[in-house]
Amino acid sequence: MESVELQKLIADGPYRAAAYDFVMRALDYTIQRYDEVRHVTGAELSEGLRDFAMLEFGPMAKYVLNEWGVKGTRDFGEIVFRLVDHGVLRKTEEDSIEDFEKVFVFADVFEGQYYQHRSKLGDQASV
């Protein structure tokens, strides 16, 4: 993501550059969770982003994402679709920004249910 156009996208948008990098790394993480390389839905990616954030940032996940301008799963979708618009990612005809709507609530997952959900990640938690 080093093109001048992408740099302008990041500079002009509400999300910090780290958020775009995080989404790309979390996409790789999410794809690796499946037995085959395939397209992932917005909901699947949101869940992968959630788990990756917990692994990367622990109990600080919500704070870090918020600092980057990401306050909910819709923001993940906004980032993904900005990357689609700039040719970095692709989408299918069935994909829409609404796929990222209210997949989970940040406060519930990253605060209230953090340790409960983190324990479900099992062996991945040591990644």
pLDDT band at 115 (very low <50, low <70, confident <90, very high): low
The residue length of the chain stands at 127
Say if 75 falls within a structural domain.
Answer: yes
How many Å apart are CA 26 and CA 50, to the nearest integer? 9
Range of the domain at 101: 4-122
Percent of the chain with pLDDT over 70: 83
Residue 38 CA, chain-centre distance (Å), reads: 17
Q: Is 46 helix (H, G, I), strand (E, B) or coil?
A: helix
Whether residue 126 has pLDDT greater than 50: no
Q: What is the pLDDT of residue 113?
A: 64
Report yes or no on 93 lying in a domain: yes
In a domain? residue 127: no
Query: For residue 9, is it within any domain?
Result: yes
Residue 81 lies in a domain: yes
Q: Report which secondary-structure segment, H or E, holds 85.
A: helix 73-85
Contact 53, 106 (CB under 8 A): no
Instruction: Please give the tally of structural domains in the chain.
Output: 1
CA contacts within 13 A on the Cβ side of 87: 4
**Within 10 Å of residue 10's Cβ, how many Cβ atoms?**
18
The burial of 69, by beta-carbon neighbours within 10 Å (0-12 exposed, 13-18 middle, 19 or more buried), is given as middle
| 54: in domain | yes
Asked if residue 46 belongs to a domain, the reply is yes
Is 50 among the domain residues? yes
